[in-house]
Structure 1
Amino acid sequence: MKIKNILKGAVFGVFAVSGAAHAADVTLNALFMAQAAYSEDDIRNMTADFKAANPGVDVNVELVPYEALHDKIVLSQSANGYDVVLYDVIWPAEFAQYKLLDDVTDRIDDKTRKAVLSGAWTTVEYDGKYYGMPWIADTKFLFYNKDMLKKAGFDHPPATWEELETQAKAIKDKGIVDYPLVWSWSQSEAAICDYTTILSGMGGQFLDADGKPAFNTGGGLKALQYMVGTINDGVTNPNSREYAEEDVRRVFSSGQAAFALNWGYMYNLANDPAESQVAGNVGIVPAPGEAGVSKASAVNGSMGLGIPTKSTHKEEAWKYIQFLTSQKVQNKYAKLSLPVWEASYSNPDVIKGQEPFVNAAKTSFAVMAPRPTMASYQEASAVLQEALQNAMLGTATPTDALNNAAKTIADLQ
């Protein structure tokens, strides 16, 4: 939904901060996502540590589903609602255009710039300026059930998309599991992330050199044809068309799939006996590549923390962001989301017990493909989501679905 349309219907007012804090104290209102990456317990524990170290600052933590995050940030601008917000890598262009986040370029020193993974900065950067600090470095990985692969006669996970479907067919033919593949292909941004992952590995691009839609040709078309093909071949769980990431984790963790594409947070949860029936039997590798084109596929699914322009506690907000994104804190909570700091990847405390996850990340983080950087991304994404869904439901061919989407998106630009 476009920002100007959201703001048009917003109710203007002053955000009331509850509580009987002393007048000299500051209360920050912080907005986070209640799915994937850091858990709610992680965020609340980090915040408790921050409050203990900063006794004059209180923090109200609000967590919402990813799908509500964008509009919550936009609507809050009418009511001075938040001091710190978590935002997706796809939103800086839009937020910069409407001046929703503070430009914090001058707050970030050279030492920090050099110490953070270079790719992580793309999460918060637009037009040469930084609108926050990278906090979640993430992409989609391929998870696999080791026992199912072994039963099917495979001694290694697939390295290409073609090999993935070949192994999935063999697993299905042997009756090991009904639907070897599970994905988050609901009509949402989750499907765009899976599509981008496959598109990137198949050499596709969203926009051409002139900024015009190009996803309806080459690797972009091949990616959707591949997705539809796995459904038609009976190796993809058809309910994937309704699934989000947590559905994928549930299905895979209950032993109902041999392969799953999901964010990194799933690795330790799927290997946790309290959370999973296949704990200890879960492997992780970079998403496959394409023979002669790529060795791995990845989408930039990273997120950053920023300060809304209407915050009245910007110094305290920046202190909170610095704390949450610090190497020390990220290293401590590195089980569901890996740090954005380069040195962390040689830290034994971070690596121990999750070596496969870290090794996969080293490869995947280096090849993360962006989704389009455009102020009208939300509208463009909605158009493409519908096109993917139409093709997967069989109401349009992949070619027709993407051609129609490309035309509509070109008109938005």
Structure 2
Amino acid sequence: MRRSISAAAAAAALTLTLTACGGDDGGGSSKQAAAAKDPAAVSGTVTWWDTSDSTSEAPAYKELIAKFEAAYPKIKVKYENVPFDDARDKFKTAAQGGSGAPDVLRADVGWTPAFAELGYLQPLDGTPALTGQEGFLPSAFASTQYKQKTYGVPMVTDTLALLYNKDLLAKAGVTKPPATWDEVKAAGLAVKAKTGNAGVFMKPQGFYALPLIYGEGGGLVDVQAKKITVNDEKAQKAIGIGQDLISSGAAVTDVTKDSYSNMQAMFKEGKVAMMINGPWSVSDDLKGPAFADKANLGIAPVPAGSSGKAGAPNGGHNLVVYAGSKNLDASYLFVDFLTKAENQAFAAEKNHVLPTRTAAYSMSAVTADPTITAFRAALDTARPGPPLARASDLFDPLDTTLEKIYSGQVSAKSGLDDVAKAARDILPDYK
């Protein structure tokens, strides 16, 4: 479940009516009632675009597909693994053109309101997809809402943490994980001086920079004041910390399109001691030689900034249903199956991801996983994204500009001013 938002131009406010798309009004039609009454009679083929990591996470979901098809022999699932970086634009293109979109998409929580605003998603209220909706974590379920309707079902939730190599830190004389960005700098320099390896990897992308911004008490926007804040003094100071980590030699970065893969490779091979990442990376991390002993992987809260508080974003993925699907009934049942507590616990055990159903956290497969325990505790203080349909579009200019800032092409102030200008085009009602 690699977290990375691709750069794309802001979408035009194109609305597709559900009738034109071939869907229904989502308000509990007779067809939906029939599906809920006799799900065994439902037939069809569900095309699912899974955006999880194709090697470390997808195998678990393929196992769940086999279980679903055994439970519903009249329904077949056409599985496609679509790289996360490409999925948002690919889905938008297919939905806008009315051809080639999947029945079900594993969508980043930030995409859900944006796709709903454009008319691409089927409302799920009153459908079998939302069976037992009261059992979801409130923070996860909130991400599925747009204008008092539900457009997704929470599949996994997540946040960011400091992942670290215990052995490398110990060799550098660091006895505990850094709790502040100042301590990250000191630890990174010590690792470089005493082991020759890199201290911390700073990924030049907006989502990964949020702990820096939140640590200074800032944010991308102030919703109450309807103000763009991505270039205020707090944000400038925050991104300046990232710049300083890199320029001082305590951190390394990578502004190529393979930035995430290179970060993962360095961490797995023991070439970098620390990185900011989420639970989706752990299955892959543990495959690396640096973590042949799984106990060598440490997980700690993201470092605090000068505000004295640490802050990480609350993210995750929802399963959404395309409004133009010709297989709505089968899609509802598939979404419900994947998000049942026992199936979330299965995926959690295999992939170290965080379930969205409260009941899953009492199951042994989940309670026995130290990764889930560490990240679950962090969820209580994680911050959700701003409740705006186009909030995810704000990351497009921020991602592009952070690459320029971290590589020294522009200053933090100049770069963030450019981001703010682009943000006002995305949110014209904001000053």
Scaled by the length of structure 1, the TM-score of the pair is 0.86
Question: Aligned AA for 1:153?
Answer: G
Q: Which residue of 1 aligns with 2:238?
A: 223
Alignment of 1:89-104 (within 5 A): 89-104=109-124
- Distance in 2, matches of 1:374 and 1:303, equals 17
Q: Does 1:58 align with 2:88?
A: no
**8 Å Cα contact 2:129-2:336 kept in structure 1:** no
Q: Which residue of 2 aligns with 1:165?
A: 185
**8 Å Cα contact 2:137-2:357 kept in structure 1:** yes
Q: Which residue of 2 aligns with 1:19?
A: none
Shift of 1:376: 4.0
Shift of 1:330: 0.9
Question: Aligned AA for 2:358?
Answer: E
Shift of 1:402: 0.7
Cα deviation, 1:255-279, whole Å, max 9, x if unaligned, reads 1011011121222432346795564
Aligned residue for 1:249, secondary structure, equals helix
Cα deviation, 1:103-124, whole Å, max 9, x if unaligned, reads 1133379983432111111332
Shift of 1:98: 1.3
Q: Which residue of 2 aligns with 1:301?
A: 315
Question: Aligned AA for 1:230?
Answer: L
- Distance in 2, matches of 1:201 and 1:249, equals 24
Alignment of 1:284-323 (within 5 A): 284-290=299-305, 292-294=307-309, 296-323=310-337
**8 Å Cα contact 1:181-1:258 kept in structure 2:** yes
Q: Does 1:181 align with 2:181?
A: no
**8 Å Cα contact 1:345-1:358 kept in structure 2:** no
Shift of 1:223: 1.9
Cα deviation, 1:157-185, whole Å, max 9, x if unaligned, reads 111222111211222222x1331111332
Question: Aligned AA for 1:259?
Answer: M
Cα deviation, 1:63-106, whole Å, max 9, x if unaligned, reads 11112111222233211632111111112232122111111133
- Distance in 2, matches of 1:274 and 1:58, equals 39
Shift of 1:3: 3.7
Aligned residue for 2:298, secondary structure, equals strand
Alignment root-mean-square deviation, CA: 2.8
Q: Which residue of 2 aligns with 1:395?
A: 409
- Distance in 1, matches of 2:256 and 2:129, equals 44
Q: Does 1:72 align with 2:90?
A: yes
Q: Percent identity?
A: 24
Q: Does 1:213 align with 2:232?
A: no
- Distance in 1, matches of 2:326 and 2:211, equals 39
Cα deviation, 1:269-323, whole Å, max 9, x if unaligned, reads 32346795564311112212235431x3211221100111111211110100011
Q: Structure 1 residues 224, 343: CA separation in 2 closer, same or farther (over 3 Å shift)? A: same
Q: Structure 1 residues 358, 380: CA separation in 2 closer, same or farther (over 3 Å shift)? A: closer
- Distance in 2, matches of 1:63 and 1:104, equals 24
**8 Å Cα contact 1:245-1:262 kept in structure 2:** no
Alignment of 1:13-412 (within 5 A): 25-35=43-53, 39-77=57-95, 78-79=98-99, 81-107=101-127, 112-174=132-194, 176-185=195-204, 191-208=205-222, 209-239=224-254, 243-272=258-287, 276=291, 279-290=294-305, 292-294=307-309, 296-335=310-349, 336=351, 337-352=353-368, 354-355=369-370, 357-377=371-391, 379-412=393-426
Shift of 1:253: 0.6
Q: Structure 1 residues 256, 167: CA separation in 2 closer, same or farther (over 3 Å shift)? A: same
**8 Å Cα contact 2:112-2:318 kept in structure 1:** no
Scaled by the length of structure 2, the TM-score of the pair is 0.83
Name structure 1 gaps, 5 residues minimum: 15-23, 186-190
Question: Aligned AA for 2:315?
Answer: G
**8 Å Cα contact 1:83-1:313 kept in structure 2:** yes
**8 Å Cα contact 1:30-1:85 kept in structure 2:** yes
- Distance in 2, matches of 1:13 and 1:322, equals 23
Q: Structure 1 residues 241, 279: CA separation in 2 closer, same or farther (over 3 Å shift)? A: farther
Q: Structure 1 residues 289, 86: CA separation in 2 closer, same or farther (over 3 Å shift)? A: same
Runs of 4+ with deviation above 6 angstroms: 5-8, 108-111
- Distance in 2, matches of 1:358 and 1:401, equals 36
Cα deviation, 1:335-365, whole Å, max 9, x if unaligned, reads 321211223233322122x32x123212321
Cα deviation, 1:210-245, whole Å, max 9, x if unaligned, reads 322102124322221111111101121243665443
- What number of residue pairs does the alignment pair up? 392
